[in-house]
Amino acid sequence: MTQSLPPIIIKNLGLQDYQNTWQAMQQFTLQRDETTADELWILQHPAVYTQGLNGKPEHLLCPDPQIPIVQTDRGGQITYHGPGQLILYVLVDLKRRKLGVRALVTLIENSIIELLKQWQIQAEARADAPGVYVDGKKIASLGLKIRKQRSYHGLALNVDMQLEPFTAINPCGLLGMQMAQLKSLLAKHSCPSLDDIGQNLAQILQSQLEQNQTA
């Protein structure tokens, strides 16, 4: 018989400082126990570069001095966050959901791919570089931290943002990688609001996590 889990909580937090949000994720993860509900946080960040644990300085090419650089504790290399980019942080108890890290990454990638299908956008994941790609360009980045089998950090989906700051880095350590965003791919449609897209994606991921639990 499958263990009954508390419902996943979805929170829409709006525009939030990166450092404060990172600390809030750490606190949540440290303080949670086996009865704590998993949470998905929908938000945006002001302009910031974040460098992962494995980040190599050579991937930071010519950054804008007005944009701070934060050394963070997620996996992966350097990336950029800014207004108009959807952030979805995934605070999940992997042990309770019987999920490995690779399986969680796949669920997140598949959720983004399913979201984009709603606009007939063909997207794919890559085995060698986590994230989601459209026509060889990267539209979504992933980076997770696992502490005591509980995840935090998550995904960043480019919706309607300034892409120029990505040209100052090798995004996620990928030399010459070009970035895509949803607005540019919706020539025949108006781009939905970031809040609506975030709620939609969070609900898709929530459903994927719940289906995995009952599989």
> What per-residue string of b and e applies to 45-68 under the rule 16 or more CB within 10 Å gives b?
bebbbbbbeebeeebbeeeeeeee
* Helices then strands, each counted (H, E), the chain: 5, 10
Instruction: Give Cα 105 to chain centroid, integer Å.
Output: 10
172 is catalytic: yes
Q: How many residues does the chain have?
A: 215
Q: Which of 99, 115, 140, 172 is catalytic?
A: 172
Q: Which amino acid is at 55?
A: G
Which pairing describes strands 48-51 and 39-44: parallel, antiparallel, or unpaired? Answer: unpaired
Q: Active-site residues: which are they?
A: 172
